Chain A
Amino acid sequence: MELEPGAGPGSLTRPCSKCRARETTLESRSHAVCKDCFMNFVATKCIKQIGLLGKETRPPPPASGGPPTETRRYLLGLSLGVSSTVLLHLLNENIEFQLAKGRNAPFELVVIHVDTSLFLPDQNGQSRLAPALDAYRQRYPRFTFHCIPLSSTLDLSSTNPDDIDWSSLPFRSPFSQRQGSSDSEPSPPQPSIDDTEKTLQTLLASLPSAASRADIVRLLTRHALVSQAHQHGCQALLLGHSTTALAELTLAEAAKGRGFSLPWLVRDGPSPTDDDEDDDDFSSSIPDDHTATASVNPTSNHAGGGKDRGRRRRLLIYHPLRELQRRELATYASLTEPALTPLLGLASPSLDNSNSSNNRIVSHKDLSIEEVMARYFGEVEAEYPSVIANVVRTAGKLVPREVTEHEGDNNDDDEDDYEDDGETAGGEGSKKKRREGRCGLCRMPLDLAGDERWRGELGEKKEISLQGRKGRSRLCYGCERSTAG
């Protein structure tokens, strides 16, 4: 309801409880507020997080002194859903605000959409993607938008500890022959994009259920974004998750047996696949034990790193909308000028599942765990907002575990590797160990103690193998559940 022009503050029928200067048009967190105050409220919640991130990613002052010359660079995962679109809009606004004040843009932004349309049943065809992205480009000309196929994660020959170890998957894969049995064989030539898409489709089709497919697609999407962030030299990956989405994620991951790696997913901070000894690029100047030890090594570990994919900048993963509810973001999207709503209709969401499933009736065997959670939280969001916020807060209190002890070995012994492995090119050994300590699929630290304790409780003769297949990475409990036939 728009205010009559000329109406002074004194004649307001229901003044905004925040500014008292304008008419109330909506209710936000039990406060009757005007549109402006609501929009500000949303922006502040986001900018607060961006500010925290800005501090974490402050470029080092140049050796010659003076102000930093480097710019912060972030990557935004754009699912084309409400949340990530609102985040994009807010980031754009923030830059415009700074520029209008005569300051430099606070950061550069690379926008990536991971195309999962081939792999999820409720996606609109790929054909709608290009026009949708064009509309985004038109509205936000400042940013570069990229569309990356999900199959970009399918690098079969990679030995990078951060990449997926496709050979760790238990199902018969279409490339198992090409892969060969010997690890020392030269890697096969990279297939064309079309081939890779088909390969990934076959792979996903061989998963036991729709729930498994959704889980793995979510995981690959995240993986693609992390890897894009590295490739674009970004210091942070920004994800559009609302409080509601993070609460859903928390419960969904718990329901998929991924409680152990959950803290890595819901908190803001370093990516779990970060290499400890490489994080001196952008972090504080205080050396911890690892960097101190690493610097004993020949500097080759540092020099020439530009082309070495194993040496990366530290990547932070942030959720700037973590304090906002999904329905608040939907309201926000309808109130911007012009509204974001038309953009949202152009393609269906894929990253955060927002309103992807609430109104569909489908059989249970076609549902994913994420969809069950989305339905549940769709029902409880309005009634129990504090419960939802509390889930996220609680999950954030859990302390993520690093790669766990492996028969007496643990992270603290990393320095031994440098000695043991001697010449092997700056820590190949510890790279291998990192790979071994992580799940072959989700790349999260393995929980060896938990797996040991759990054996037999599944009521299956086939126990989770503690060793993994010969020479292959092991899978974590959650990935084992999603890929087991």
Chain B
Amino acid sequence: MVSTLCAACKTERAYIKRPKNHAKLCKTCFISVFEDEVHHTITSSHLFYPGEKVAIGASGGKDSTVLASVLKTLNERHGYGLDLVLLSIDEGIKGYRDDSLETVKRNAVQYNMPLKVVSYEELYDWTMDQVVETIGKKGNCTYCGVFRRQALDRGAKKLGIKHVVTGHNADDIAETVLMNLLRGDLARLSRSTSIVTGDNRSEVKRSKPLKYSYEKEIVLYAYHKGLDYFSTECIYSPEAFRGGPRSLIKQLERVRPSAILDIVRSGEDMARLIPGDSPSSCACKGQTSAPIAADEDDIGGCGSQGGRTSDKRMAAIEKQLRENEAHEALEIDVAKVKSGSSVGERDKQIDLPLRNGSGLARGAPRQVLGTCVRCGYMSSQAICQACMLLENLNKNRAQIQI
């Protein structure tokens, strides 16, 4: 094959074909383009303010390692004036965290950033190994995900930090967009596309600077920068994601590389079409910071798994929906059909499906957010998910002890 010149500098040989748009670039230009785009995301969404103390949720995996590396680079290059800290969660999984924590520790040295490790054991009195001992491998990723979500916030709070950034990438966001379309959760769709989450009452805000970065480019960036990251996926998450939205996204990406970003764009736009939602369209003009969505979404189970959803997840949604249907009014009674099938007689039918953009649309139920009565973490229920899961676990533990 004849070598092509880099489309950006036009001097070096191009040997990276960007997954995002198939542009052919040299290594140096790819790295700088990748960083420039994250910089654009950060500035156009006003993610940070000078002097802000920011915790990077660090798992030792590729996403968070790249995030730490890029933030360090941009912070120095553009003078963000950020005080960056690595925040790591120790789930208490032997053999998994041991190695990945070692990676994060090396990262702390490499990037010259302080590292704070918070363990599930100190936060919840349970390690993941103990959870698995109690409930088995099935469904434990739920626990892991729910605990992790709060763990970062609680850890940040301990450090007096009000902003946590996570390594969620464009593939993760696209997946949650499709996932929430499939399960019909518009409120969550809105939250998951928002670059900043956490509401005014919450003490810690979350953001996703890699929201527009392709997973494949993150891998390329890590590779070409020679970053030190831990690549084994969580051993308790053997479920393949076949049949779920993740596989759909990968297929779409093969057909049209821009599809991942196109889905993210669609998700953001649809979020503005949700009835009752105030249009918070523009993050870059006239606002001091990006629109803040309430609560964190439910991206992902285990950290290094990102938002990967499995077959089982789809099946669970189907089951839930069927239960909902069963509670709703019965379908048209097939036996009564023949009598009523004239146009004229049907005129009495109410509930027109004709809507005209205004108040007629049936609103998606808005979630009312409060705080958990047990732990004070924000929650749409009286008791948050983590506390519910803990209650369940503690019951089990009590039984075993008896």
CA distance A136 to B360 in the complex (A): 40
Interchain CB contact under 8 A, A447 and B341: no
B337 CB-CB contact with A under 8 Å: yes
- Chain B nearest CB from A244 CB (Å) reads 13
Task: Select one of A29, A44, A376, A453 contacting B283, CB under 8 A.
Answer: A453
Within 8 A of B (CB), among A44-71: 44-45, 47-52, 54-56, 58
- Chain B nearest CB from A41 CB (Å) reads 5
Interchain CB contact under 8 A, A481 and B186: no
CA distance A389 to B182 in the complex (A): 9
B362 CB-CB contact with A under 8 Å: yes
Interchain CB contact under 8 A, B182 and A459: no
List the one stretch of A115-123, A150-158, A362-370 in contact with chain B: A362-370
CA distance A23 to B364 in the complex (A): 42
| Binary A-proximity of B323-360 (CB < 8 A = 1, otherwise 0) | 00100000111110110111111110100111111000
Which residues of A have CB within 8 Å of B344? 54, 103, 106
Which residues of B have CB within 8 Å of A389? 321
What 7 A-B pairs have minimum CB-CB distances, sorted nearest first? A259-B266, A51-B346, A257-B262, A386-B321, A449-B281, A394-B184, A40-B337
CA distance A294 to B37 in the complex (A): 48
Interchain CB contact under 8 A, B338 and A457: no
**Sample (13) of A-B pairs whose CB atoms are under 8 Å apart:** A51-B343, A51-B349, A52-B352, A54-B344, A364-B251, A364-B255, A372-B248, A383-B315, A393-B184, A397-B363, A449-B281, A452-B284, A453-B284
B135 CB-CB contact with A under 8 Å: no
CA distance A98 to B256 in the complex (A): 49
| Binary A-proximity of B247-280 (CB < 8 A = 1, otherwise 0) | 0100110111011011101111110111100010
Which interface class (under 10, 10 to 19, 20 to 34, 35 or more) fits B? 35 or more
Interchain CB contact under 8 A, B332 and A254: no
Contact A47 B346, CB 8 Å, known A372-B252, A393-B184, A456-B44:
yes
- Chain A nearest CB from B395 CB (Å) reads 31
- Chain B nearest CB from A279 CB (Å) reads 10
In the complex, besides A459-B20, A460-B21, 19 extra interface pairs with C-beta distance below 8 angstroms are A37-B335, A40-B338, A55-B349, A56-B354, A94-B341, A107-B343, A263-B273, A269-B356, A270-B354, A384-B315, A384-B317, A386-B322, A387-B183, A387-B318, A399-B274, A402-B357, A450-B265, A453-B283, A458-B258
- Chain A nearest CB from B154 CB (Å) reads 32
Contact A268 B353, CB 8 Å, known A51-B343, A259-B269:
yes
Interchain CB contact under 8 A, B354 and A269: yes
Chain B residue nearest in CB terms to A107: B343
Contact A260 B337, CB 8 Å, known A395-B181, A450-B272, A459-B20:
no
B178 CB-CB contact with A under 8 Å: yes
Interchain CB contact under 8 A, A391 and B266: no
Interchain CB contact under 8 A, B347 and A55: yes
**Residue of A268, A385, A387 contacting most chain B CB atoms (<10 Å):** A387
Chain A residue nearest in CB terms to B279: A449
Contact A267 B355, CB 8 Å, known A254-B178, A386-B321, A395-B181:
yes
CA distance A365 to B275 in the complex (A): 38
CA distance A394 to B254 in the complex (A): 27
Which residues of B have CB within 8 Å of A97? 341-342
Interchain CB contact under 8 A, A397 and B356: no
B314 CB-CB contact with A under 8 Å: yes
B33 CB-CB contact with A under 8 Å: yes
A142 CB-CB contact with B under 8 Å: no
CA distance A98 to B343 in the complex (A): 9
Chain A residue nearest in CB terms to B177: A254
A401 CB-CB contact with B under 8 Å: yes
B361 CB-CB contact with A under 8 Å: yes
CA distance A41 to B331 in the complex (A): 10
CA distance A39 to B184 in the complex (A): 29
Interchain CB contact under 8 A, A454 and B181: no
Which residues of B have CB within 8 Å of A101? 342
Which residues of A have CB within 8 Å of B256? 209, 211, 255-256, 369, 481
Interchain CB contact under 8 A, A394 and B181: yes
| Binary B-proximity of A306-323 (CB < 8 A = 1, otherwise 0) | 000000000010000000
- Chain A nearest CB from B362 CB (Å) reads 6
A19 CB-CB contact with B under 8 Å: yes
- Interface residues in chain B, defined as those with a beta carbon under 8 Å from any beta carbon in chain A: 18, 20-21, 23, 33, 37, 40-41, 44, 177-178, 181-186, 212, 243, 248, 251-252, 254-256, 258-259, 261-263, 265-270, 272-275, 279, 281-285, 314-315, 317-318, 321-322, 325, 331-335, 337-338, 340-347, 349, 352-357, 361-364
Interchain CB contact under 8 A, A257 and B20: no
CA distance A456 to B212 in the complex (A): 10
Interchain CB contact under 8 A, B317 and A387: yes
Task: Select one of A44, A250, A269, A367 contacting B255, CB under 8 A.
Answer: A367
**Residue of A51, A258, A269 contacting most chain B CB atoms (<10 Å):** A51
CA distance A101 to B263 in the complex (A): 51
Chain A residue nearest in CB terms to B20: A459
| Binary B-proximity of A397-410 (CB < 8 A = 1, otherwise 0) | 11111100000000
Chain B residue nearest in CB terms to A400: B357
Which residues of A have CB within 8 Å of B261? 257, 457-458
**Residue of B186, B269, B281 contacting most chain A CB atoms (<10 Å):** B269
A262 CB-CB contact with B under 8 Å: yes
Chain A residue nearest in CB terms to B262: A257
Which residues of B have CB within 8 Å of A459? 18, 20-21, 23, 33, 37
Contact A390 B251, CB 8 Å, known A44-B332, A254-B266, A457-B37:
no
A225 CB-CB contact with B under 8 Å: no
Interchain CB contact under 8 A, B255 and A387: no
Task: Select one of A51, A268, A391 contacting B354, CB under 8 A.
Answer: A268
A253 CB-CB contact with B under 8 Å: yes
CA distance A394 to B364 in the complex (A): 9
Task: Select one of B20, B181, B255 contacting A368, CB under 8 A.
Answer: B255
Task: Select one of B259, B322, B341, B346 contacting A43, CB under 8 A.
Answer: B341
Interchain CB contact under 8 A, A398 and B262: no
Task: Select one of B41, B181, B279, B335 contacting A251, CB under 8 A.
Answer: B181
Which residues of A have CB within 8 Å of B362? 397
CA distance A454 to B185 in the complex (A): 24
Interchain CB contact under 8 A, B262 and A256: yes
Within 8 A of B (CB), among A110-165: none
Contact A398 B273, CB 8 Å, known A259-B265, A364-B255, A477-B265:
yes
A18 CB-CB contact with B under 8 Å: yes
- Chain B nearest CB from A136 CB (Å) reads 23
CA distance A251 to B354 in the complex (A): 22
**Residue of B20, B274, B341 contacting most chain A CB atoms (<10 Å):** B341
Which residues of A have CB within 8 Å of B262? 254-257, 477-478, 481
Chain A residue nearest in CB terms to B264: A457
Task: Select one of B263, B285, B363 contacting A254, CB under 8 A.
Answer: B263
A379 CB-CB contact with B under 8 Å: yes
Within 8 A of B (CB), among A80-102: 94, 97-98, 101
A347 CB-CB contact with B under 8 Å: no
Which residues of B have CB within 8 Å of A449? 279, 281-282
CA distance A267 to B262 in the complex (A): 22
Contact A48 B349, CB 8 Å, known A401-B273, A459-B18:
yes
Which residues of A have CB within 8 Å of B331? 29
Interchain CB contact under 8 A, B361 and A452: no
Task: Select one of A29, A367, A380, A460 contacting B314, CB under 8 A.
Answer: A380
- Chain A nearest CB from B40 CB (Å) reads 5
Which residues of A have CB within 8 Å of B349? 48, 51-52, 55
| Binary B-proximity of A434-463 (CB < 8 A = 1, otherwise 0) | 000000000000010110111011111000
Interchain CB contact under 8 A, A51 and B265: no
